[in-house]
Structure 1
Amino acid sequence: MKQKTIFTRFIQLWGIVFLIGTGAGIIAIDVIGSYRVGCFRADQMRTNYIARQKQIIKQEVLRVVDMINYEKEQSTALTRTKIKTRVYEACSIAENIYQQNKSTKTAPEIQQMIIDALRPIRFEHGIGYYFVHHLDGMVILSGDKPGFEGLNLWDMTDTRGQYGCKDMTEIINKSGEGFYAYHWTKPNAAGNDFEKITFVKKIEPYDWYVGAGLYVDDVKEQIKETLLSAISRIRFGEQGYIFINRMNGDVLVSKGHLFSGTKKLWEVFNKNPEKMKSLFDKEYNIALKPGGDYIYYSFVKLNTLDKESPKVSFIYGIPDLQWFVGAGVYLDDVEKDIALMQDELSSHIKEDTLCFVLISIGIIILFLFWFSRFNRRLKGDFNLFSSFFHRAAFSYELINRDLVQFDELDRMAEDANKMLWERKRTEEELRCLRNYLSNIIDSMPSVIVGLDLDGKVTQWNNAAQRITGISSDAALGLSLEQAFPRLVSEMERVREAIRTREVQIDSRQVRKENGETRYEDVSVYPLVANGVEGTVIRVDDVTEQVRIEEMIVQSEKMLSVGGLAAGMAHEINNPLSGMMQTAEVLSNRLTRSDLPANVKAAEETGITMEEIQTFMEKRKIIDMLGNIRESGSRAAEIVSNMLFFARKSDSSWPSYNLADLLDQIVELAGTDYDLKKKYDFRRIKIVREYENDLPLVSCESGKIQQVLFNILRNGAEAMQEYSNGSQQKTPCFVLRLVHELEAGMVRIEIEDNGPGMDQKTRKRVFEPFFTTKPTGSGTGIGLSISYFIITENHNGKMSVESIPGEGTKFIISLPVKRRRL
């Protein structure tokens, strides 16, 4: 036998291992924690540094953009002031010439003097000049295009479709002066699509206005030269600078140097042109974003031209200048600080490790001293428990708790003593539970048969014993074929249930019992819980359920037939009405001599109304028309009865005269003719015995007529078969209506002189699916539904009296006032 480990020695050994492991774990946790803290702090330093530097470069770029925009606005305002001042100077020159010569020279001479004085004037480095137009569009002076002088430019447009002369004349007419922007030619430059800002002012006393302007791109170039020089000198941080490129890749400012703008980025930094082209594409895409954005890449530093470092830049586009401005910061500058922090962390980890090792050694020495004392007391308590468990297998002797020294073991001793009593009580309860479950299974109406994997019976309830006649003790251990032969066919489902662990159900099995058809549901349940394998077969008799379901289906069919009858009646009613109306019109036109239209038509054909009537009488046409009207009236009455019979019941249950309902259903039954049996309901004699002053009855008329029609039709068929036999009787119905005053009911009696019923048939006549007719001739639910309508729906009574050979009488009693169910 394998040697067992001594518990106390085991505790001592593993206690030391635990302490060493705990110390090592604490050291490892501290080292790992310190390392994670260092990594976290490093990541945090990098994140904070990058976020701070990104904010700085964004602020620097936006500051430069604001400076550019400010200079543009200031330059534009200054330019507008310059050209306005120049135009005012021109007007002052013209005014002086006019005032000095108005009394000595003619108007044409003065005008020529003004033109000659303004023509040679140039300003703004020779690109500025004057022009003078008449208010009707005639060019008086054109400083850059003398050939336009004397031409009318009223309908002339610039490249953008603006009517310059018209627009400037409108400004003069409205305000006398003003600024105007359009596109025009530039001296010493090809093309005519240069944007120009112009100021115009009227020259008194002539219908002239003088103007001067500057080209927008000239203004921009002046701004660019000034700004680029200032921006190239901007520095921030240790390595920070501003760079500016054109949208087409030309370098303007980079690494603190000013460039001419004639070289591309990849031509200036030509060590790796493809990389620089890729970098420019990224910068260009960012520059197109409103508000700018950041870009990450590698680039050389100012002081280390042979090494690239990771860098982040902020790019901002200025579309009207076709520039993008950027500034960047190198991300590896923070690594020096991180390296210092990590060196300090390593020293801290070494000191903590040494401290923990010394503490762990001291704890182990104290543990060994304490455990030697604890071990002696623990062995005594373990000996008590060992002796207890040795006895507990065959006795109920308790532990002497006074000898137990440790509180925890004392509580264990208390629980162990309770365990003995609980075991005894549990065994008793288990016996009771077995008996209880057995009673439940035996009380079930279903047949319950348990089988093991070999098909042997393990459970057999009272229902199985009652059907087979085999007791539970005798059935246990038998095969299913021996104990319950008619269930042998279920063995295939038993094997399938065990294999798939799924319930197998065979519904509506048919079997014959004492000449009667019965239906059963057979279910096979696999047993898979608590390691028990096998199956349980349950057999349930569902005969009544099947019959009720079939009765409901048949009832739904009858409702559908009623709806079909209503539809047919409606379809018949329309042509029937047309036929009767046409017959009436024919009668009027052929028999009435007092109608002028009839007389006129007869005269036009050369005969008289008397001759027509004589012909009709001889041919009996008038009698035929009468027969048509009479037959139509009878058909209309039949249709009306069919509609009334098929109409849905009213939830309010109005009151009806039962005599009227009975007469209507008799009239409807009169249309019933069975071609196979060759009987005609109209040949049956009807005797009515109705009491006078019968009270109205609250009912569902359609359902009551359904009951009456069913009884009359069954009786008619029975009397027809009986009269065709040996007994030659005239078929007859006696219909009675009697007021049962004390009971508060009206009684309906329908009596026939048919073959009657024997006592056995009379007792079962209201059972669902019971019929005396041949197979296929009847469903056996007509009278059961009728019984349900009278007793359940109307809270009435229905019974039958019959003597074989003397006839049958159905008795129906309906309450006068409706009682809620």
Structure 2
Amino acid sequence: MKERTLVNIIKYSPSIFILFLTIVISILVYKEHKSNIEAEKNLIITTQIEDEKDEIQLWIDSIAQSMIMMKENTENDLKNDLRNQVHNAYEIAYRIFNKYKNKKTKEEITDIIKASLRSIRNNEGRGYFFIYEMDGTNILNSDFPEIEGKSLWNYKDLKGVLLLQEMNKILSQKSETFYDWYWHKSTDKKKEYKKVGFFKKFEPYDWFIGTGEYIDDFEDSIKNKILNYVRKIRYKDDRYIFITNDKGKVLSHKYEKLIGLDITKSIEGFKQHYENKEMFANGKFIEYAFKEENVNKKISYARWIKEWNWVIGTGFNFDKINDKIIERQNHLEIKYNEYLKETIILSSILILILLIVSHIISRYVEKSFYKYKSSLEEKHKTLVKAQRTASIGDWKLDIKNQEAYWSDEILNILGIDELKEKPSPAFLKKLMHPDDWETFETSLNNTINKKSDHACVYRIIRPKDKNTIWIDCRGQLSEDNQKIYGTVQDITKRKLLEDEKDQKEALLFQQSKLASMGEMLGNIAHQWRQPLSLITSTATGTQVQNELGILDSKTINKNLQNITETAKYLSQTIEDFRSFFKPKDDEFSEFSVKDIISRTLNLINVQFKSKNIIIIEDIEDIRILSLENELVQALINILNNARDALSERVDVNQKLILIKTYVEKEKLIIEVQDNGGGIPKNILNRVFEPYFTTKHQTHGTGIGLYMTQQIVDKLLKGSIRVKNKDFVFKTKSYHGANFKIILPFK
């Protein structure tokens, strides 16, 4: 019954939902449509005004920038003009000089030059030429002829500068120069005005020729040109540009009758803005009524050009753009209405299609539902079977009431045929080995409190047969933090295999130790042979000397001291051997790496010497916290491997083993490098495999390097690497195997 109801909901609810949603959306779309039209109309008004503002602002800012650049270039342009004018005058004077220098006197040539330059005027008649001798005597001054022939050597301008003396000084160092000074105008001989001029030395007669321009006259000329140009500019809807000074006096305007008037008085609303011209510094929009154009509302953009002390602006009539706004609004409303009609038609078609598709999908979902249900049942059966095969069961724990769900496979693993109480952590505690409960409880609490994954291995004593089994239990907290979902797996067989593997590795380690012991006994035999011979010889010699009656106390003491020293050496050899094979606990201790390598070499040195192998040490005195004997065992295995490799090389004259220690990235590095030719590439990655050896079975077991890796990785908590490496020793190149042990300091 429930399944049929669920199928009907799946079957009919999409169609009902689509119809309901269509009605709601239609109402909302209509309301939104009306709201959008009003919003868009208001936006059109705003955007149209803003567009117009942006346009006039861009135009005025562009013109203002051009005026500023023109101002900046005014003096440079003037200087270039003045220089060109003087150069032309110089050319005229020089041609006259060249033409008459051998025909006329200096005075006659001077008169011709003066006559030629006197009538020349520049800069709209304001500019004229003057000539001075270097001692300050005026030769020519077209605007002030009364000073010709007079010396102005001691003349000072408004700033107190001795102009002619200063010019003499400058032109004695270079042939031409620009210069600023103050001078009278021909129209105003009482006041001095700033001039900028250009002077060029005329070498034939030790003169200088010059001209100049009054700065204010030149700027006024430029301003007038700009005003005349701006007055004629028109653009878009017959718009124009107006210019006033900083006080509001109109300098340029479309309506000429306003030129010269005070704009703050003739146009209402302007006065407050001119009271603080700094307000125009970055540009400002102004709204006002303009009677000259019968405009109730006009918006202008004005900007103060500090360099010219002008206010420049333009504007637009609000009435003119209002027609554009109404036109755009009408167009928008037509467009929206057409859009609404299209939307209704398309929506109706889409709803019909959705209803048809919904019906088809509903039928498909109905069939899929029954098919999926059947598939789930089949997968559940498969999962249960797979769990039983892998001995994996699933569980769930309700954290709040501490009630648990255990699958059938869990009950089978635990050996429970019938549950007599509800599954819970308390019930599990009764089945668990007492030594494991604390670990399990800690892991479970960490999952609840710290939201970490639950992972714990524990033992269960099965109530059915009292057998002890090993369980691997894992779990994760649910998203709502209310439940824990997990699995358990019977890993008893795996644990037994791991124990068996550990026993085998212990046996291999013991075999490696026994192999080392055999080699050590050989070493001791070699090391004792010479000391024992020395003791025997000393004792025999002492006895013979005593029988001959030639033994004195000095000889006795000397012989006894030799015997004592030799006995101490034998004792130390035994102590090193005993220390290496003495069983110790697995606790780490701090020791010197240099001492450990020294101990290692003392144990094996005899065999290396007998095979003419030279050991070179580059050892830093570094202290670490580790296991002493295990590190010695690892080093002996690596050194013995190098010894065997070198013993097979009859073609090597000098057999070398280099031992080096250093610190790298806060790790201790021990490198053992030989020149035995290296390990073949095809077996380089197999040297740490157990029972793998390239030697004859009488010379190697194949467990030395394997045990070395196990010692370094598992006991010393480090790592070991091997590669073939080229190296140089005493300017000679060698090739061999390089073993690198990497150990932590703690």
Interval of TM-score (by shorter of Structure 1 and Structure 2): 0.3 to 0.5
Higher-Rg structure is 1
Q: TM-score, normalised by structure 1?
A: 0.43
